[in-house]
């Protein structure tokens, strides 16, 4: 199995896109089923965002100064998604704003993932060697079991709080 950081993050993106599709298929159905998919979306996003925030982004910022602006924009996009995830986590699936909020979350995340995959991951791949990317990926694999899985855990909230207070 590859430990290349970009390969790993793209695998996460693929799973996140699959969950988004599942939500869109279920959004007009029973609230329970909809809520279950959103719970899975929130878990996938919480883990993925944590690994990017803790490992990928700071590492890339240090090693590839060329993409610094992309990283700063990405932190802000994560922050917006964090707020929406937090709100959804505390809402009932039959709330009248639930589907609308999830739809806005999906639109935001798809835009963000697109920018990662199309705009700056390719620059990172060009700038860093295979070994460096495998090392970064290995660090994310090691950290994954310790990642928060719900948006309200202190570890998950830390970056959102830093973004507001710092």
Binding site for Fe ion (CB under 5 A): 52, 116
**Nearest CB to Fe ion, comparing residues 34 and 48:** 48
CB of 110 to Fe ion, least distance (A): 11
Contact 51/113 with Cβ under 8 angstroms? no
CB of 87 to Fe ion, least distance (A): 19
Q: Report how far residue 43's alpha carbon sits from residue 134's, in angstroms, rounded to the nearest whole number.
A: 24
Neighbours of 95 (CB within 10 A): 15
| SS3 state at 129 | coil
CB of 81 to Fe ion, least distance (A): 8
Burial 144-159 (b: 16+ CB within 10 A, else e): eeebbeebeeeebeeb
**Nearest CB to Fe ion, comparing residues 37 and 113:** 113
**Nearest CB to Fe ion, comparing residues 52 and 54:** 52
Q: Report how far residue 111's alpha carbon sits from residue 113's, in angstroms, rounded to the nearest whole number.
A: 6
**Nearest CB to Fe ion, comparing residues 94 and 107:** 107
CB of 117 to Fe ion, least distance (A): 8
Residue least distant from Fe ion (Cβ): 52
Tokens standing for residue 6: 């970009």
Q: Report how far residue 32's alpha carbon sits from residue 45's, in angstroms, rounded to the nearest whole number.
A: 20
Residue 136: C-alpha distances to residues 80, 90, 128 (Å): 25, 33, 10
**Nearest CB to Fe ion, comparing residues 53 and 93:** 53
């Amino acid at each position: 199995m590859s430990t290349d950081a970009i390969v790993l993050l793209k695998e996460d993106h693929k799973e996140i896109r699959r969950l988004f599709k599942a939500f869109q298929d279920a959004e007009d159905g029973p609230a329970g089923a909809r809520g279950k998919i959103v719970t899975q979306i929130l878990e996938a996003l919480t883990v993925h965002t944590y690994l990017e925030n803790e490992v990928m982004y700071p590492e890339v910022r240090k090693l590839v100064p060329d993409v610094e602006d992309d990283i700063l924009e990405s932190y802000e996009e994560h922050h917006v998604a964090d707020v929406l995830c937090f709100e959804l986590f505390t809402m009932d699936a039959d709330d009248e704003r639930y589907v609308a909020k999830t739809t806005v979350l999906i639109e935001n995340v798809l835009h963000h993932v697109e920018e990662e995959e199309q705009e700056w991951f390719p620059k990172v791949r060009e700038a860093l060697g295979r070994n460096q990317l495998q090392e970064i990926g290995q660090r994310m694999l090691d950290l994954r079991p310790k990642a928060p899985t719900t948006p309200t855990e202190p570890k998950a909230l830390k970056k959102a709080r830093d973004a507001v207070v710092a």
